[in-house]
């Protein structure tokens, strides 16, 4: 039996839409469970971290990427391969420090907010997509790269773009093994 052409793409779109709707329901439930936005943000980050810790194995197996030699290569890999693979978007990468350890991922389109128009005024400090920060942090930690990951800009809060900041916490020379 043969598959009709385009069937796989249609299933991928349905799966993505289901994920986005389910994510929205999760955030809505967390908002009901927690009064403070900071508690919701922490919970989303913690959930994302757990996902990232497990997702890195799938990423490494499916992408067949080679070891990154620098922080800029790592940031490019996150943007060009990981985001494309799991969310279907490719953010642009900018380096924002002379030391070369701070990067921004700029998303023109954030698929997690496809069905969200704006945050309610009483939830102004909610970081709706904070799960992504946890995923990135958890995955990086599993490949021995400690990082701080935060949202710097968010379209849901009126910013022009969605921007995720990644700060690697060790200097590049700290990563080399001593013999």
Q: How do residues 41-88 score in pLDDT, each as one tens digit? A: 999 999 999 999 999 999 999 998 989 999 999 999 999 999 999 998
Residue with tokens 């995923």: 135
> So what's the pLDDT on residue 175?
47
Fold of the domain spanning 16-118+125-168: Muramoyl-pentapeptide Carboxypeptidase; domain 2 (3.30.1380)
CA-derived radius of gyration, the chain: 17
Round to whole Å and give the CA distance between 172 and 41. Answer: 30
Q: pTM of this prediction?
A: 0.86
pLDDT exceeds 70 at position 8: no
User: Can you say whether the dihedral through the CA atoms of 156, 157, 158, 162 is positive or negative?
Assistant: negative
Residue 81 has what DSSP assignment?
A: I
Per-residue confidence band for 170, with pLDDT thresholds at 50, 70 and 90: confident
Per-residue confidence band for 136, with pLDDT thresholds at 50, 70 and 90: very high
Mean pLDDT of 19-27: 93
């Amino acid at each position: 039996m043969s598959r009709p052409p385009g069937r796989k793409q249609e299933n991928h779109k349905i799966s993505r839409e289901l994920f986005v709707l389910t994510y929205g329901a999760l955030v809505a439930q967390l908002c009901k469970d927690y009064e403070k936005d900071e508690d919701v943000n922490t919970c989303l980050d913690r959930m994302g971290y757990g996902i990232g810790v497990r997702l890195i194995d799938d990423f490494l197996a499916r992408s067949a990427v080679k070891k990154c030699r620098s922080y800029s290569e790592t940031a490019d890999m996150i943007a060009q391969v990981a985001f494309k693979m799991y969310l279907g978007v490719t953010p642009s990468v900018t380096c924002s420090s002379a030391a070369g350890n701070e990067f921004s991922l700029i998303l023109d389109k954030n698929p997690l907010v496809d069905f969200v128009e704006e945050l309610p005024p009483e939830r102004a400090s909610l970081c709706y997509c904070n799960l992504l920060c946890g995923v990135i942090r958890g995955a990086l930690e599993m490949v021995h790269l400690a990082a701080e990951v935060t949202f710097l800009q968010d379209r849901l809060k009126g910013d022009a773009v969605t921007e995720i900041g990644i700060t690697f916490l060790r200097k590049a020379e700290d990563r080399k093994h001593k013999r």
